[in-house]
Structure 1
């Protein structure tokens, strides 16, 4: 695994699954980030106990109360991070928080489920990028690196192969309509962010972590959290301007739109 190089990292959905796995492996790196901001909806609740235990042992880990579907919560979290950064920028924003309704076939999916899923999986990452854009721009301006990279300034949207329209026939064993459509929207958001934010030095990439053994992925999945996260953290350091606006899997292989 190459060194990530990002001095400051913020993750959403950090209290379980892939988000928690990313926090753990970032903390265990030979050169961990100076600051890791780990956010979730209820950092004081029972589902965040493991995250709190990590924070008690690692002074560079800061827990944030953040609901990506709530604009007020996102704005307040950005203010807290800005104060903590004390004039420095944010190198890496990882939009990981997502929801999933396994029974959402075309027969049963309704407007409420579609809207709720879009709100978290597509609108949430958009609002996160908007709120933290000033800090990301600052990091890009502060950097002496040429080109685009995660150590300079980057937005990484955790997406899914289920958002790939071309791959839908091969993956339609699980229809999960609301999740698929929201991730396809997230992929389009990533492309639009790349075309817009790339001009100011911010790399924007969508990553598919694989089918992972989590509450969302179920225990039938192919990958453990540890394997998926190791793959993701191996891909992040090699991302450059040639990957801007692309969808890659956890091994760094391109996935068609």
Structure 2
């Protein structure tokens, strides 16, 4: 697969699942990014122990406290990254943080769960894009590459096949209404390997598309 050449990467939801898998494989790459900013809501908590262990071994891994649904938290994280970058830009923002409630069927889901899920899964990526846009633009201006790419400057939103309206009948074994609506199974390792093979080939023509882990378009 082609190599991802982003010098600086920021991921949300990095303490478990796909986020943690991405951090691990980026660190293990032959030419890892100069900086990897791995964020989660509680980097000091028990669920982030594996992330802290990685940070203790890799000086290019920076842990960030970040709640993507909290505008103040997002703004503060952007300030920290900007200071750490010392005038350089951010190449790649991966919005991975999400809330998944498997028991949220139409019969039992409530307004609180719907709002909490939308705030994290839908509004969160927008807040992140707004806060880190200046650093992404700076990276694009610094790059000599033509066109758009993840090695130059890009925002990648991790979604799910459950977000496809057309494919709802085929994926309705678990209703998870709130998650499905906000996003409108593979092993973590396989998913991450697929994602890292797709990222290097993305360009302008993929803007706004919903792709699976193999780079194939999923109908909206």
TM-score of the two chains, using structure 1 as the length reference: 0.84
2:162–2:184 CA contact under 8 A, matched in 1: no
The offset of 1:224, in angstroms, is 1.7
Partner of 1:239: 202
Q: What is the CA–CA distance in structure 1 between the aligned matches of 2:176 and 2:95, rounded to whole Å?
A: 21
Q: What is the CA–CA distance in structure 2 between the aligned matches of 1:222 and 1:86, rounded to whole Å?
A: 40
The offset of 1:244, in angstroms, is 1.1
Residues 123-155 of structure 1: per-residue CA shift (max 9 Å, x gap): 011100000010001111111111110001000
Secondary structure at the counterpart of residue 247 of structure 1: coil
2:163–2:184 CA contact under 8 A, matched in 1: no
The offset of 1:26, in angstroms, is 0.1
Which of 169-178 and 111-120 deviates more?
Answer: 169-178
Q: What is the CA–CA distance in structure 1 between the aligned matches of 2:169 and 2:46, rounded to whole Å?
A: 39
2:164–2:184 CA contact under 8 A, matched in 1: no
Q: What is the CA–CA distance in structure 2 between the aligned matches of 1:47 and 1:80, rounded to whole Å?
A: 22
Q: What is the CA–CA distance in structure 1 between the aligned matches of 2:85 and 2:5, rounded to whole Å?
A: 17
Q: Which has the higher contact order (CA 8 A, sep 6+)?
A: 2
The offset of 1:52, in angstroms, is 0.7
The offset of 1:65, in angstroms, is 0.4
TM-score of the two chains, using structure 2 as the length reference: 0.97
Residues 206-249 of structure 1: per-residue CA shift (max 9 Å, x gap): xxxxxxxxxxxxxx994221111011000000111111110100
In structure 2, relative to structure 1, the CA distance for the partners of 1:56 and 1:181 (3 Å cut) is same
Secondary structure at the counterpart of residue 169 of structure 1: helix
Q: List aligned pairs for 1:69-218, cutoff 5 A.
A: 69-182=69-182
The offset of 1:173, in angstroms, is 2.0
Give ranges in structure 2 of 5+ residues lacking alignment: none
Q: What is the CA–CA distance in structure 2 between the aligned matches of 1:168 and 1:226, rounded to whole Å?
A: 25
Secondary structure at the counterpart of residue 119 of structure 1: helix
Residues 7-58 of structure 1: per-residue CA shift (max 9 Å, x gap): 0000000011110000000000000000000000111111111111111111
The offset of 1:171, in angstroms, is 1.1
Between the two proteins, the alignment pairs up a number of residues equal to 220
In structure 2, relative to structure 1, the CA distance for the partners of 1:151 and 1:54 (3 Å cut) is same
Residues 84-117 of structure 1: per-residue CA shift (max 9 Å, x gap): 0001000000000001111111111111111000
Runs of 4+ in 1 over 4 A off after TM superposition: none
Secondary structure at the counterpart of residue 211 of structure 2: strand
